[in-house]
Structure formats: C-alpha cells, structure tokens
C-alpha cells in the first residue's frame, strides 16, 4: 500500500464533512493550501461563509460547498453522485461531522421517549453519519487508480469513556470499532486506500465556547494545531491511531489513561474504576508512576469529564 504522503498532490480531491467551522474548516484550509480540490460538506448555515474562506486560500483548486445531513443515507448517496460527477474520485475523505447532546445510560426523571430520542439523535449523526459516508465512498476509493485515505474523527471519550455523557461515549466508541474494522477490510482488498482514526485532544471550537466569543483556554489547542498534528501523523508517518495531545495533556498521559482503562478488563476491576472511590488512590499512584507527578496536579481544576475529552458536548451539530 502506498504511503499516505503520496495522496497530497496538487489537484487531488479532499471531501470534508463538518467543514463549516472548527476542525473541519481548519482541515479544509490545510488541504487547500496544498493545492487540493475541496468538497466542503455541512448542514450548517455557516457553510457559505466557510466556502468563501477556503476559496481565499492561496493555491487552492476548485472548491465546492454541498449541504448534506450525513445522518440520512439518501442525502449521502446524492452527495456521492455529485462528487463523483464533478471529480471522478475522492483522494482524502475526512469524516468529521458530529453532535453532542448530553444523555445518560438511564434516567430517573426523563421520559423513555425523550431519552431514546436523544440517543438516536446522537448515534444517527456521530456513528451512522460516519458509517454512511464511509460505506458510500469506500468502494470507489478502494478501486480508483490514485492512492486515497479515509480519516474518521473519534474522541477520547470513545476510548476511556469518562462518566457524564453515555450516549456520546457510545457513539464515539462505535466510531473507533468501525474504523478499526474498516482499516482491516481495506487492507485485505485494496492496495490504494487506507483508514485512520483521528482523535483530537482538547480543542477550542464552538462546543467549548469559541462560537460565543470566549477566549481560548490555555490548555486547549486551536483547530489548526490539531489539524497540523493529524496531517503529520497520517500523511507523513502513516499512523492509524492519531491521539492528539493538547497543552494540558501529554502523549504519555493519554497512554497512561488508556492503559488503566484497558487494565480494568485484564484485572477484572469495576467498570470505569478510574472514577470509583475505592480505586481513586491506586489510579493516582499509577498516573504518578507513569508521569512523575500526581493526577490532581495535571488537572488544573478541570473535572474528570473535561480532563478526558476535547470539548463539553452541547446541543448543536459540531465539527468533530
């Protein structure tokens, strides 16, 4: 299989979902700066303004903005036909659309109908949105002449599953499992297309207050920093797992948290033992052994949920 670096040639085609803002917009502009044609996809009213920004990037190829609700397979099929009619192929697919309404595993106060509606809303976009787009385009990308790659945006919440938003965690855990399966199946049938799991750290986007004009917190990265890291790891190093750090969380701290989470299974500890009072001291000792400092000193006052994820999910469609 060719190295992903061979994909970023002038005139190649990048399709980005969730492209109206945040990471999606930053990625679209990064691809544009390398001379790629850009298909910017979103349902947001901000898409037209984003397309204008992308067109202003020096050296960009053709730019097309297409409104599409990726949770609806009929709209995704229409998107696929439009893109293939325009360009004939897709060289980079960044599956990046998502939403984050809060939902619990069960509820003592919310009706079952309302709880289920929130779960379906989250899964329809965060998981089925990625599934729909990947399954629509992968058969074409796997058989085209030029090298290609599919990059699915996940979340650390889909790996270590911190308490606070069960529906979001499940949706992103599904993205992780699906992308692993996709990478395996592509590896067995195609020598031109690869798959990659892109996991941002704490990023200052609309979900963390950027859209409200709030200043970027010190601990957060900008979307541009996050995209730069992804570009290096995918296109220069060919990594499958792209677990992004930020100004609060180092690569080694991420690895320690993931290792502890996996050890819950190996050691038969209670589910999510990291947040279990009986294991709090053991967890902090473990982190200290891996980091040379305590977990508490790393938190800088952030809650366990904030420490684990790159945003605090809100009610609107998001870009990662």
Cα 266 to Cα 279: distance, rounded to the nearest angstrom: 15
Q: Which residues are catalytic?
A: 168
How far out from the chain centre does Cα 122 lie?
14
Beta strands 13-17; 92-95: pairing state: parallel
The DSSP result for the chain, as a single string, is ---GGGG--TT-EEEEESTTSHHHHHHHHHHHHTT-EEEEEESSTTHHHHHHHHHTSTT---EEEEE--TT-HHHHHHHHHHHHHHHS--SEEEE--EE-----SS-SSS-HHHHHHHHHHHHHHHTHHHHHHHHHHHHHHHHSSS-EEEEEE--GGGTT--TT-HHHHHHHHHHHHHHHHHHHHHHHH-SSEEEEEEE--SB-SGGGTGGGTPPPPTTPBPHHHHHHHHHIIIIIT--SEEE---SS--HHHHHHHHHHHHHHHHTTPPTTGGG-GGGHHHHHHHHHHHHSS-HHHHHTT--HHHHHSSS---SSEE--
Cβ contacts of residue 144 below 8 Å, gap of 6+? 89, 192, 193
Cα 129 to Cα 144: distance, rounded to the nearest angstrom: 23
Cα 209 to Cα 204: distance, rounded to the nearest angstrom: 7
C-beta separation of 138 from 186 below 8 A: yes
């Amino acid at each position: 299989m060719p190295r992903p670096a061979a994909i970023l040639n002038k005139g190649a085609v990048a399709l980005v979902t969730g492209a109206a803002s945040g990471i999606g917009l930053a990625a679209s502009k990064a691809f544009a700066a390398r001379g790629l044609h850009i298909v910017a996809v979103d349902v947001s009213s901000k898409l037209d303004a984003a397309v204008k920004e992308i067109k202003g990037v020096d050296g960009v190829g053709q730019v097309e903005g297409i409104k599409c609700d990726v949770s609806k397979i009929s709209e995704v099929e229409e998107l696929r036909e439009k893109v293939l009619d325009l360009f004939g192929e897709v060289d980079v697919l960044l599956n990046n659309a998502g939403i984050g309404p809060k939902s619990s595993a069960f509820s003592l106060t919310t009706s079952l109908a309302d709880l289920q509606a929130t779960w379906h809303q989250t899964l329809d976009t965060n998981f089925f949105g990625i599934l729909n787009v990947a399954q629509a385009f992968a058969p074409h990308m796997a058989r085209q002449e030029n090298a290609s790659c599919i990059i699915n945006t996940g979340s650390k919440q889909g790996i270590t599953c911190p308490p606070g938003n069960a529906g979001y965690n499940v949706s992103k855990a599904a993205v992780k499992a699906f992308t692993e399966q996709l990478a395996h199946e592509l590896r067995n049938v195609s020598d031109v297309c690869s798959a990659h799991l892109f996991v941002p750290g704490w990023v200052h986007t609309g979900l963390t207050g950027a859209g409200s004009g709030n200043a970027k917190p010190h601990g957060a990265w900008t979307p541009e920093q996050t995209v730069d890291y992804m570009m290096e790891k995918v296109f220069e190093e060919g990594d499958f797992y792209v677990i992004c750090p930020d100004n609060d969380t180092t690569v080694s701290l991420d690895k320690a948290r993931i290792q502890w989470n996996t050890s819950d299974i190996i050691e038969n500890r209670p589910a999510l033992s990291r947040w279990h009072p009986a294991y709090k001291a053991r967890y902090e000792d473990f982190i200290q052994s891996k980091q040379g400092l305590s977990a508490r000193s790393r938190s800088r006052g952030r809650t366990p949920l904030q420490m684990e994820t790159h945003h605090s999910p809100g009610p609107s469609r998001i870009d990662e």
